[in-house]
Amino acid sequence: MIADHGHIRLALPITGEEEIEEIRAVLASGYLAQGPKVAEFERMVADYVGVRHAFATTSATTALHLSLVVLGIGRGDEVLVPDFTFPATANVVVQQGATPVLVDIDLDTFTVNVDDMAAKVTSHTRAIMPVHGFGLSANMNPIMKLAAKHGLPVVEDAATAIGTTYYGKKCGSMGTLNCFSFHPRKAITTGEGGMILTDDDALAEKIQLLRSHGGVRREGRFTFEAAGFNYRMSDILAAVGVAQMRRLDGLIARRRELVALMSEKLRAVEGVKTPVEPAWGGHVYQSYVVLLDEGIDRDGVIKAMKERGVETTLGTYALHAQPFFARKYGYRAGDLPKSYRAYRHSLTLPVYPPMEKEHLDRVVQTLRWAIDSMGKYNG
């Protein structure tokens, strides 16, 4: 339900009888762990994106972590990471004993600023991890040129970007390794889950080995060649993914239709900057994120809209301003000013396929009321 007891939810996964039928078939098959349905899901995604290899995982976080493992990222290495992202992007670097070097963003796109990234390449840099923001591709051409100049692999954090394109090319196909999320807030979902995609045969072989305990099956038993992980997706979750993939293009088209309506309605609301679609296009609007004027109390807006039954949240996090990264790496809040501005003033509004015009009208009216009422939160 979009409105639960009169409240408009922030996001809503779209599922139905197709997903139930796929799950029922898996239960009847007896393959409940990783099996043929995972392989089917992987092939659907690989074919859709246009890559040779796809490996389903338990989450985008484990996909990103496994990507760094197979690249050999470790202690003493540096990885360039946008500062404005969910912490998982940088956490996996830390978990490998490496250092995430945080890079500022462009406020128009909420994606990494390539000039700042180029300035932070050092002799210790071992990889670049661009993040596609809220369903919009990072500016990949200059990123790939920078990577080529320094001989660096690129790991696309494409968690929000299945179906996103960059000058017509699918996100998830441009980096050395590319990672999707299938969390319920994404364009399609498996409940929890992720995937690594690559055209590199040698890296694919390493992923295949390490995703499943480091074991190779020979003559009915495993021989363990490495200290691997259990990052496998189950066939039950993959069954949901198979049904979801059939919906994907329709869901994206509906999101874009609703976004056009929402952005038009918000033109009349002072102090709100709507999402930008840059020259490369291809935004799938996994989240609809606006930027409020600095004089507006974003957290007060969230609180006020909740009081009126509309769920919202911040865009995402400025990592340098989070206690762990500030403490460990010596950052102070505001060191990456554009990311910090986005962290303090971005706002995610509900826009997703089952919504109708009247739901959008209510969101816009509630946002206008919340901004107008900020006096009681500031005084």
Tell me the catalytic residues. 186
Asked if residues 310 and 361 have their Cβ atoms less than 8 Å apart, the reply is: no
Give strand pairing partners of 128.
80, 154
274: Cβ contacts below 8 Å, ≥ 6 apart: 262, 263, 266, 267, 290
Instruction: Give the Cα separation of 87 and 12 in Å (integer).
Output: 23
φ/ψ of 178, rounded to 5, equals: -140, 135
Please tell me what DSSP assigns to residue 138.
Answer: -
Closest CA to 134 of 166, 158, 103, 101: 158
Report the run of H or E that residue 272 belongs to, with start and end: strand 272-273
Give strand pairing partners of 212.
230
Chain position carrying tokens 């050999």:
72
Q: Name the packing angle between helices 17-29 and 235-266 (round to 10°).
A: 170
